[in-house]
Amino acid sequence: MSSPFPGMDPYLEVNPFWGDLHSTLIAVLKAELKRRVPASYTVWADIYIWIHEPDAETRLGKPDNFVTARPTSGQGTNGVATLSSPATSILPAVRREGNKYLKIKDVETDRVVTVVELLSPANKASGDDHEAYLAKRNEYLATGTNLVEIDLHRTGQRMPLGEPAPANADYYVLICRGADFPRTAIWPISVRDALPEIPVPLKTEDGFVMLPLQSCFTTAYDQGPYDNAVDYTKPPRIPLNDAEAVWASKLLAGKWKES
């Protein structure tokens, strides 16, 4: 059974559903793009790594022992000895977290032409991941890389969408073609809307290919466990506003009646 919602399913915005949906949808988008781009392009799934700096308190160590491979007299025969030290510290690169995204590359030059980002809650929450993603986003725009940014979360900090601000909406798609920067195209999307078919830009001379987000989402939903795992008799964990909650209640009641 497909999602009862016409577009993005608000029940899937939280884990454990989102993590599975993100991975599956990235794979479906990749397959769809591969089918549509000219032979002069390749489509890749990649992961970027955030390397976090520990805070000052974490950085401050306490006396500990170091392990050395040379045994000292009187120690066992396993060849391992310990060295006492007055303090320990932590090197700057202490934690790595990755997030999948898609990149379209030009075969001849091996240059990344377009990046497709499917935002996760960590991208939109205050903290290191949000700042790191913003830095990566700015790097795309500064280097003339085409950016397709898909935001299917109603919560968290919106990424900068420029001026004038677009209409308030539940979800957004932002597309910035490198040649048009800083001008961008934005699709505001309601929870009541089907996801749009969007133009994914390639090199200027090659124009763009269309990407049907709704059919991709439906495929990802059908491949997942959501029809059995999601309890649609209860409200979503991230509440809808009053008007949307009434609409969703009627929608779900109608779906159950049909089935």
pLDDT tens, position by position, 49-62: 666 555 544 434 33
197 vs 210: CA distance, rounded Å:
6
Residue 102 sits at the vertex; the CA angle it makes with 101 and 104, to the nearest 5 degrees, is: 155
What does the pLDDT read at residue 57?
A: 46
| 216-244 tens-digit pLDDT | 999 999 999 999 999 999 999 999 999 99
pTM value? 0.82
The yes-or-no verdict on residue 64 having pLDDT over 70 is no
Tokens 């781009």 -> residue: 37
Q: At residue 73, what is the residue type?
A: S
Ranges 10-24, 92-106, 113-127, 164-178: which has the least confidence: 92-106
What does the pLDDT read at residue 132?
A: 86
The yes-or-no verdict on residue 256 having pLDDT over 80 is no
Higher pLDDT, 126 or 68: 126
Mapping DSSP onto H, E and C, the string for 4-50 reads: CCCCCCHHHCCCCHHHHHHHHHHHHHHHHHHHHCCCCEEEEEEEEEE
What does the pLDDT read at residue 198?
A: 97
Q: Which of 215, 177, 208 is nearest to 194 (CA)?
A: 215
The yes-or-no verdict on residue 97 having pLDDT over 90 is no
CB-count exposure of residue 36 (10 Å: 0-12, 13-18, 19+): middle
- Report the SS3 class of residue 255: helix
| 79-90 tens-digit pLDDT | 555 555 676 665
Q: What is the mean pLDDT of the chain?
A: 85
Supply 91's token pair: 């090197």
Give the pairing of strands 41-51 and 185-189.
unpaired
